[in-house]
Amino acid sequence: MNGAGDKKTIIFLANDSYNELMLIQSILSDCGYFDIETFSNGNELLLFLDRRRPDVIISDIQMPQVDGFQLLREIKSSDDQAVRNIPVIMCSATFNAFETRKLALESGAAAFLTLPADKASLVETIERVTPKPVPNESANAAGQLSQSPDSRQYKVLILEDDKYNARFLVYALKDLKYSINSVESVAGFNAVFDEFKPDVCLLDYTLPDGNGLDVMKSIKSKKPEVKVILMTAITNERMIDEFIMEGADNFLNKPINVRSLITAVKNAAECR
């Protein structure tokens, strides 16, 4: 496992509140934790454990399908010792009484935090409960040798007028190590497009001075090789069909799922 202080810690976040999920992720990203998987309930997280193991889990209590306590019980009763050993930090903005905290710790939680959590408490708790790594110089050397010195850095240009959403998108994509630029208007997008030369454009549909579909048409007329991913919370089948017919390479429905976002951008940039 990776230690909490080396910025390589794999963190799983489970919370059905999109705002709380993004707030915690933003705080963690500010502190150098970029390898973060997000889930809207415990069931999603449990299913994802077959694909990847985290160094620490941070879970809300009240969630649909599988809540925090059910998730904790599943983790601590797993037949796989590696899963049982994953530290789980329970948190809640509602269920924060002494009895709840006591039950969480007695059930195997490594810690309990009241939401909204402040940065210092969150980071201190992660560092305290996450096992420190055993240095492995040969593994580090092998990892350095495997990196291509001339690997290309792809460029992503984001057009999103909501500052909160824009910040979320930038943080969510940081682990890809791409060059990322974000603008809030069509005018701003047009001002930087030619100089920035993006490989992928993430476009919100509803904008203060236009819409993402018209921006995409303009991009495709000038630079058809640039991949375009449209984003909107207002969708219907006819709108999605129009996106496809006009040349959209992908579409993401808001609120954005982090894993879907990363997959869509990575596929657009690297599968060219």
Q: Does residue 137 carry a pLDDT above 70?
A: no
CB of 161 within 8 A of CB of 207? Answer: yes
Q: Confidence band (pLDDT; 50, 70, 90) for 153?
A: confident
- pLDDT level of residue 235 (50, 70, 90 thresholds): low
- Inform me whether the pLDDT recorded for 2 exceeds 50: no
Backbone angles phi, psi at 222, to 5 degrees: -95, -45
Q: What is the pLDDT of residue 78?
A: 92
**What per-residue confidence (pLDDT) applies to 21?**
87
Q: CA 71, CA 59: separation in Å to the nearest integer?
A: 8
Q: How confident is the model at residue 118 (pLDDT cuts 50, 70, 90)?
A: confident
Q: What is the pLDDT of residue 253?
A: 87
Answer whether residue 135 shows pLDDT above 60: no
Fold match between domain 4-129 and domain 155-270: yes
**Residue with more model confidence, 161 or 244:** 161
Would you state the pLDDT for residue 241?
80
Identify the pLDDT of residue 159.
97
How much is the pLDDT for 189? Answer: 96
d(CA 41, CA 244) in angstroms, rounded, equals 31
The domain limits of the chain are 4-129, 155-270
Question: Which CATH class for the 155-270 domain?
Answer: alpha beta
How many residues does this entry show for the chain? 272
Beta bridge partners of 59: 14, 90
pTM of the predicted model as reported, rounded to 2 decimal places: 0.51
Q: Among 3.40.50.2300, 3.90.1720.10, 3.30.70.1400, 3.50.50.60, what is the CATH number of 4-129?
A: 3.40.50.2300
Which of 224-262 are b and which e, b meaning 16 or more Cβ less than 10 Å from the residue's Cβ? eebbbbbbbeeeeeeeeeebeeeebbbbbeeebbbeebe
What are 180-213's pLDDT values in tens digits? 999 999 999 999 999 999 999 999 999 999 999 9
Quote the pLDDT of residue 174. Answer: 86
**Averaged pLDDT of the chain:** 85
* β partners of residue 227: 200
